[in-house]
Amino acid sequence: MTVLVLSGAIGAGKSSLTGLIAKRLGTEAFYESVDDNPVLPLFYEDPNKYAFLLQIYFLNTRFHSIKRALAADNNVLDRSIYEDALFFQMNADMGRANQTEVKIYKDLLANMMEEIKGMPKKNPDLLIHIDVSYETMLKRITKRGRSYEQVTTDPSLVKYYHTLLDYYEPWYENYNYSPKIRIDGDKYDFVENEQDRVIVLDQIEAKLREMGKI
C-alpha cells in the first residue's frame, strides 16, 4: 500500500497532477472538495468573518480523506491534513482569527493527528510539493475561472496570494512526516505540455523506485 500526498499553493496544479499520477501508477485519486464547498465563496467575500469556519470545514473533509487513504490500497491525495495548519496560521497572522479560535483549531488538529497515529498506516509514503511563482499561480487561477479567486474582482487577493507563497517555503522545509520531493511548476507545465508531463511523472516514479515503493 502506497499513499502519496500533494502540496502547493492555490493554482499550483495539484488536482491535475493528482489525476496524472493516479493514471500512471494505477492508484485511486482523492480530491479536495472545492466546487461544492459552501463556505469558500463566503470566505472570499468576508475573510475576517469566515476564516475560522472555512478551516474547520477543510480540516474535517481532509481528515475523512486521509483516514480513507491510509486505510485503503494505493492512492494519491491532491491535498492533505498535513498542509492544513499552514493556511490557518497565515490567516491568524493576518488578523482573521482570534486567539480563542486559534486554540480551538490547534487542539482539534492535535486530536485528529493522534487518531491518525493509531491507524495501521500512520503517515503517507511521499509528499510531492509543486513550487510555482506568483505569475504561474495567477495564470492557472485565471484559466480555471472561479470568480471569487480573481484578482481583477478583488485586488486585495494580490497580497494574499504573495503571502501564501511566502508561507510555503518554511512549511515545506519543516515537513517531516514522510520523504518528500519538489516539482518545479514553472519549468515544467505538466498541465498543458505532454513532454513536461512525462518528465514530471518520471521524476516521481524514480523517487518511488529509489524508496522501494514500486
Q: What is the pLDDT of residues 118-155, one digit of tens each?
A: 887 788 899 999 999 999 999 999 998 888 899 998 99
Q: Give the pLDDT score at 1.
A: 66
Q: What is the DSSP letter of 148?
A: G
Name the β-bridge partners of 206: none
User: Which ranges in the chain belong to alpha helices (H)?
Assistant: 14-25, 40-45, 47-71, 84-93, 99-117, 134-144, 157-174, 194-210
18: exposed, middle or buried (Cβ count in 10 Å: 0-12, 13-18, 19+): buried
> What average pLDDT does range 159-168 have in this prediction?
94
Tell me how far apart the alpha carbons of residues 57 and 53 are, in angstroms, rounded to a whole number: 6
Tell me how far apart the alpha carbons of residues 191 and 50 are, in angstroms, rounded to a whole number: 31
- Is the pLDDT reported for residue 51 higher than 80? yes
Tell me, yes or no, if the pTM score tops 0.85: yes
**Residues known to be catalytic:** 78
Interior CA angle at 78 toward 145 and 113, to 5°? 130
Pairing mode of beta strands 3-7, 28-30: unpaired
